[in-house]
Amino acid sequence: MTALIQLGIAGFIIQAAGILCYLGIVHTAFDDPGKQITIGVYCVVIVGLFVAAVRQLSFKELVVLAVVLTMVFTAIYEVLGFAVFPGLVKDTVLFSRDHLEGLVAGAALLFAGYMGGLLIVLGLSKLWKTTTSRPGRKTRA
């Protein structure tokens, strides 16, 4: 299995688990700090996925990964919203103009966030490689 497919599957699992954990904790007594903890853990894990992606993928594959992660998150959110947790999409009519506009705007914002995160990790990775290389020692590009 290629690295892109493995990272895409890992992203799917991370996103599904993150959304389900968030939805599960919302209706508990642990609601107030629980939501923030869930979001924090999700961010740490997704950054770990980005680090692994930057180490294994080319730039074109990173863009594809960002697109895949955006589509997967949007699909999970929509399926869970319309099929299991209607509170996620309350006051929304499936495939209405408002729904599709919100979907596109949310997906664009999410893609920008994923791509921005990947670019930050990529930049830090390149910076780390240049500052840790010694004169006369070859580093991998």
Report pLDDT digits (tens) over 120-135.
999 999 998 888 766 6
Task: Examine residue 140 and state whether it is found in any structural domain, yes or no.
Answer: no
- Residue 43 inside a domain? The answer is yes
In tens, the pLDDT along 24-35 reads: 898 888 888 999
pLDDT band at 137 (very low <50, low <70, confident <90, very high): low
Give residue 15's domain range: 3-132
Please choose, from the candidates 81, 70, 60, the residue with its C-alpha nearest in 3D space to the C-alpha of residue 108. 70
For residue 141, tell me if it sits in a domain.
no
136's torsion region: left (phi>0), alpha (psi -120 to 50) or beta? Answer: left
Number of domains composing the chain = 1
Mean pLDDT throughout 80-105?
84
**Is the residue at 84 inside a domain?**
yes
> Would you say residue 10 lies in a domain?
yes
